[in-house]
Structure 1
């Protein structure tokens, strides 16, 4: 690979990576099954704590 081509290739790769940081896919962040279960349990407990106060 000649020198100009290699330089252009590395510059294009850096530009592509820098540009990718600005464009988010809108995809939600992955939450593991254990984490989802823990969050569900926490919300259940918080709802149970609030429900006796309302009654």
Structure 2
């Protein structure tokens, strides 16, 4: 591999690394199994409290 090609390769690699670093995170951080369970339970509780209200609204719409 000649010197010019090697320098070009190194430069492209460094530019790519800087661009990736500045692009921001695409993945969220790690969420433990216990935290996922808590979030799921909270979502389920919220969903179950909203369900009766929605049923009442649907019954009123039908009348």
TM-score normalized with structure 2 length: 0.47
Matched, 1:32 2:32: yes
Distance of 1:32 and 1:9 partners within structure 2:
40
Gaps in structure 2 of 5+ consecutive residues: 39-63
Report the Cα offset of residue 33 of structure 1. 2.7
Question: Which structure would you say has the larger Rg?
Answer: 2
Instruction: State the Cα RMSD in Å.
Output: 2.5
Report the counterpart of residue 8 of structure 2 in structure 1. 8
Distance of 1:14 and 1:29 partners within structure 2:
25
Number of equivalences: 39
Report the counterpart of residue 22 of structure 1 in structure 2. 22
TM-score normalized with structure 1 length: 0.52
